[in-house]
A and B are shown apart, each in its own frame.
Chain A
Amino acid sequence: MNKVVRKFAFFAEFAVFILLAVLLSVINMVNFAMASDDADFITQKIAQDKGMFGADRERTPTEMQQFDQDENFRPGGRKFGGFEAMGPGSPEMSSSIRYFTYAFDKDGNAQKIVFKMSAVTEDEAQEWAKGLVGNTVGWTNVNYRYRVYKIGDLTYVTVIDQGRELLPSYRILLISVAGGAAMLILSMIILLMVGKRIFKPIEEADRRQKKFISNVEHDFRLPLTVINANTELIEKRNGPSENTNIINRQVGKMTAIVKDMASFSVLGEEKLSISKINLSDIMMRAIDSRSAEFEENNIELSVDIEPEIVIEGDGEAFKKAFEELADNTLKYSLSKAAFRLVRQKNRITLTQENDSELPSGQVDQVFDRFTTLKNSKGKNSIGLGLSYVKQIITAHNGRVTAKVTDGKFILNIYL
């Protein structure tokens, strides 16, 4: 059940990751788009004012008096307090923006319009601006927004420093990435904790179901034995009759059901009985016991089993699992089947291959309990074989995979 919880947590986490990624990407993209718009508003204002803010022009004392009274000198007009005084429309904009504008004639001769920047020298700024001629608007050197525009025959290039304005955007980006990662870790922890709670009732139901099957199987054993004894006693006293024959037949059927239930619930409630076991011998015997049937069905059998592979495990469980595997191979092989058991370093690999009509789309169903796939001989399997194999291998901390390629069914068991 832990595997189911982990799977649930993984998929839920993936959904959280997608949601967070979309949400944070949208927030940051909108934020940077708005920062670009603000910067463009400023460069537009500068372009309208012919390369510099009106407030930055040199003026006579009369003009100074006019400047003091004329709101048009201030890009945002006179505003004090309120939202409208914030951002690029602020009356303080002209004095807070660091920028330069150069104008170039057709021959590339530069004319300084304004230079209010400390990060570069005037010569560097002129070269920089020259390099931007031919563009229209955009970001340059990360934090600088530029606009190229024509006034008369001259091409104006205005570059403004938006470093301070972009800083909050970068902070939001950083917080988004760090916060997003923290959210993912936190959500994974919560999902694992919550997952256990969510799946607890299902786990409990599954456990109860197995317990019930185990109990039924267990509780039927003794009564059947008692019925057997009493039927025999009746037969001894009165001689066999049709009635005792019927009892015997029905008890035989019930005994078979109980034995089936025992194999179904072998790992349901019962713990593994671990001891040293010779996996090679168990595998060899399982195949050997069916070799005559492989021959009868004209299935070419290839067996390559490395001897003396000894592990700690439940011998009876492996014996049954390998018998199920051999039965399954017998049922679904067309003309060829192969078993290979090898130990490489600490890993034991059992590969079973056979030519098959199984469509690759159905390969995931082979491990499903009670799933019966129509085999080539037109018979149906009981639907427990590979599910049981997987159950036993998983209980021994192993892994089972299955695939179909080029009409070949390949099952790998890793221990």
Chain B
Amino acid sequence: MKILLADPDRDFVWSYREILEQSGNEVTTAYDGAQVINKAFTDKYDQVIMSSEMPRVNRREILQMLNSEKCPVILLMTGRVNSDILLDEVLANAHISFPFFPGELTRLSDEVLKKKNEKQKLSFADIELDVGGYMLCGKLRVTNEEIDVLSALINKTELDSKRAGPYIGSLNNKLERLNKKTRIRYVMKEGYRLVTDYE
């Protein structure tokens, strides 16, 4: 897998380049936003792993460009993943907050790549989830974590309620934006469920 790794901290880039290369990836590095844009234009990457705080060009502009290139992005977050980020039209495919262990990043990287190659489309009542396209009902972008939450709810598999936290709210907001009747609701003793009687 060809990965573009971008962060202004050279120690971080040097260390994680080695980690990612040891996992069998071909890694190119960048230290500011302008370099990310230049490299993403001149070469094609399977994935971009970059810091949420890049110098010279802001995150949103970089994401806009990478979204249009359909290049999956993992954003390295210095703060928390909040609804401002998740409800923005310009969205990364996945987020991971500092501090993390190398294994967490490589696992996430593999997950994003795996999802990207999936042709699976899940549906429930009036909603449809395009896993590989990271799209909800063909109109709104969703993140890797949102796909995990929604897939678990549609497939009725175990959902880690604690990890699902911020994504329940963002998914409900997206369903409302799409004027869908389906919502995620909490049922005591049962946990989160998809309900369709919502008006």
Contacts and interface: CB of A to CB of B under 8 A. Distances in A.
Interface of A: 218, 220-222, 224-226, 228-230, 232-233, 236, 251, 255, 258, 262, 266, 270, 273-278, 280-282, 284-285, 287-289, 291, 303, 307, 314-316, 319
A309 B91 CA distance: 28
B188 A288 contact: yes
Q: Is the interface of A mostly helix, strand, loop or mixed?
A: helix
B102 A232 contact: yes
A232 B172 contact: no
A229 B15 contact: yes
Contact of A229 (B19, B78, B169, B192): B19
B169 A224 contact: no
Contacts of B15: 226, 229-230, 233
Interface residues of B, number: 41
Nearest to A232: B102
B185 interface: yes
Contacts of A289: 161-162
Contacts of A277: 169
19 contacts: A221-B78, A221-B97, A224-B99, A225-B100, A226-B12, A228-B101, A229-B16, A229-B19, A229-B102, A232-B101, A232-B103, A273-B82, A273-B83, A278-B172, A281-B192, A282-B186, A288-B188, A289-B161, A289-B162
B90 to A, nearest CB: 16
Interface of B: 9, 11-12, 15-16, 18-19, 22, 78-80, 82-85, 87, 97-103, 161-162, 165-166, 168-170, 172-173, 176, 184-189, 191-192
Contacts of A258: 99
Contacts, number: 106
A265 to B, nearest CB: 11
Contact of B80 (A255, A262, A284, A303): A262
Contacts of A230: 15
B186 A316 contact: no
A273 B165 CA distance: 14
